[in-house]
Amino acid sequence: MSRFAAPIAEQIWDMKYRLKDADGTPLDGTVEDTWRRIARALAGVEADPALWEDRFYHALEDFRYLPAGRITAGAGTGRAVTLFNCFVMGTIPDNMGGIFDALKEAALTMQQGGGIGYDFSTIRPRGAEVKGVAADASGPLSFMDVWDAMCRTIMSAGSRRGAMMATMRCDHPDIEAFIEAKRDPARLRMFNLSVLVTDAFMAAVKADGPWELTFGGKVYRTVEARDLWNRIMRSTYDYAEPGVIFIDRINAMNNLAYCETIAATNPCGEQPLPPYGACLLGSINLAALVRDAFEPSARIDAGALDDLVRVAVRMMDNVVDASRFPLPEQAAEAQAKRRIGLGVTGLADALLMVGLRYGSAEAARQTETWMKAIARAAYLASVDLAKEKGPFPLFDAGKFLASGTMRTMDEDVRAAIRAHGIRNALLTSIAPTGTISLYAGNVSSGIEPVFAYAYTRKVLQKDGSRTEEEVVDHAVRLWREKKGDTPLPDHFVNAQTLPPLDHVRMQAAAQKWIDSSISKTINCPEDISFEDFKDVYMAAWDQGCKGCTTYRPNDVTGSVLTVSEQSEQTPAEAPAQVQGGEVVYLSEPLDRPAALEGNTYKIKWPGSEHALYITINDIIIAGHRRPFEVFINSKNMEHFAWTVALTRMISAVFRRGGDVSFVVEELKAVFDPRGGAWMEGKYIPSILAAIGGVIERHLVSIGFIAGEGMGLKSDPKAEVIAVGERPRKACDSCGSYDLRMIEGCMTCASCGQSKCG
């Protein structure tokens, strides 16, 4: 019997989490092997590894505890990757040398697969004097462009493109340019943007008062606070960015306010972190803990939840010791505070299974109850770890217990911490779980509502044929198994019908017992008025949220996962079906035939003693010729390492299928800081760009792309096509149009690819 509830779950495991040899041969024979690999790796730091390996395996079994993707894919593999998901980089100095040192650190972190956050408020504004060079500053946005270009060239671990968060304080003189930066669709595509909103600014907005824009003690100009707030709201209404982070609230509630100041978050916003801060993530699958689903006695198994949380905390604490780190500063920060981010997934499904309507007052109260139970279990488990292994090095009982979060904690928990200390400075966070929720059987993601009850997914097979699969929400599938064709009850609601303020209510309820923050998207209807849209953000502020991210589909942002209209049937009578485009998606790499046809091309780079020879071999699928593998050879041994790495990466991409022509544009965009060269009457910015040009000409010659410059562009998510009256965006991984905005992250329902990693 397979542990997977749906084909998509097994395919996600095979593509993203299953350990394979360099040639693609699976080393994890089954998902049980994957669970055993993770359990063994995390138990390896224990005094009694065998005991804890079994307990860890049981927690992972049947997808009850879901470590974040980097842990699932990397633990126990022996590979030089980090198991941490989130990083905030060091404070950017306001000088050229420091800025580019920070850029280098970012590149090293992204090479190992970490999503990173940066506060650009520390860079002087555009036009400010730069002493000693008789010049004016170019401002933080110009350096953000440099970061953006760097990110485009680095592929994150697990074949995920890098994700970055840029923040800027609401009192920085360049804040207006920052707010409107995404109005240019080609700019800062690798960044999520958020404004750091202070308590003083919100007070000024409510009072309709003035607001000073300052840097380095100098007031550059004064604006009306409400006008600036409206500019933030208008940009978000039109372009879905920037998000809003209530930074003073984050610092006031931080358990570590006595020894750190936070000014940035990771890309999805659930982890506010100090300079060089890092956090690992994992989720309790609430849907897997419901007993007697859809019956009057339906409930979460409280004992199982408590036990699972305690084991999960121990596993996550062990990750701090088992993981590598891109930078020594990150390792030191993690060891000093031992921050973890335990959250949940499947909340909406669990609510449906116990008979509650997501967004209702009753559902919010139940969510708060479950979150408190998780927080209590997590904190008490960390106290037990402190008894056994010692508290985190920067623990100070008096200061820790006086922090914002701890002031609301139950007295028995406070007493235990006072007596024994605590192993982990912060313990709870709700992260994006788009891919791992699919892997766990398409449970609802994080604390988001169910997006669609079911949708149809088209899968391209090796022989060129396409099959259709129905992907059904976990709770809906269980309902069908128990109740047959009985219509779904009225309390089954989804993101298409949920009022935005119900989203806010749920986020606020969960936030009360989350000591870090929450990654959540508040879906707004396209026709929501601007005034009602602003009310969503003000409600988030008034109800105690630490931030707010919305998504309103429109002609600029594109529609997200089109759901069919059921004109004569209510949602309870007919689950919504996704109307997807043709998905070019392969569940596993193509097999190599014994013989392939191809061509070899020669590049003589000016100034180089030896030529490069590039061989591109093709495969025939369904009568069409497509690239399959690349080899690059040269007598110049200085090129050996990078040419081998390049050919392996490109060949791996080619074998996955889909529209792989983006490789061409990525290579053509690489520039050499020493300068390019003129070849055949054209300026080529680097030898890599020249290789990209050769591949492009080959793809044109075999009919894979129509002509030079006609390949998929470097940012596939920017490509918009018309479907009916509204544009839709294609997934850059599989080409489908089944994208959805979840937890601040564009996520593909067909292949699980997520911008935010």
Tokens of 549: 């991210």
Cα–Cα distance measured from residue 335 to residue 312, given in angstroms and rounded to the nearest whole number: 18
Cα–Cα distance measured from residue 84 to residue 320, given in angstroms and rounded to the nearest whole number: 8
Instruction: Concatenate the DSSP letters of all residues of 494-531 into one string.
Output: -TTT--HHHHHHHHHHHHTT-SS-B---EE--TT--HH
Contact 449, 347 (CB under 8 A): no
Tokens of 355: 């008979």
Helices (H) and strands (E) in the chain, counts: 23, 32
Q: For 323-376, what is the HEC assignment?
A: CECCCHHHHHHHHHHCCEEEEEECHHHHHHHCCCCCCCHHHHHHHHHHHHHHHH
CA torsion, ordered 571, 572, 574, 575, to nearest 10 deg: 70
Angle between helices 302-322 and 49-60 (to 10 degrees): 120
Task: State the catalytic residues.
Answer: 266, 268, 270
Determine the distance from the C-alpha atom of residue 603 to the mean position of all C-alpha atoms in its chain, rounded to a whole number.
39
Please name which of 432, 302, 418 lies closest in space to residue 370, comparing C-alpha atoms. Answer: 302
CB atoms near residue 673 (< 10 Å)? 6
Cα–Cα distance measured from residue 238 to residue 233, given in angstroms and rounded to the nearest whole number: 9
**547 phi, psi to nearest 5 deg:** -175, 175
Tokens of 72: 């699932």
Contact 620, 592 (CB under 8 A): no
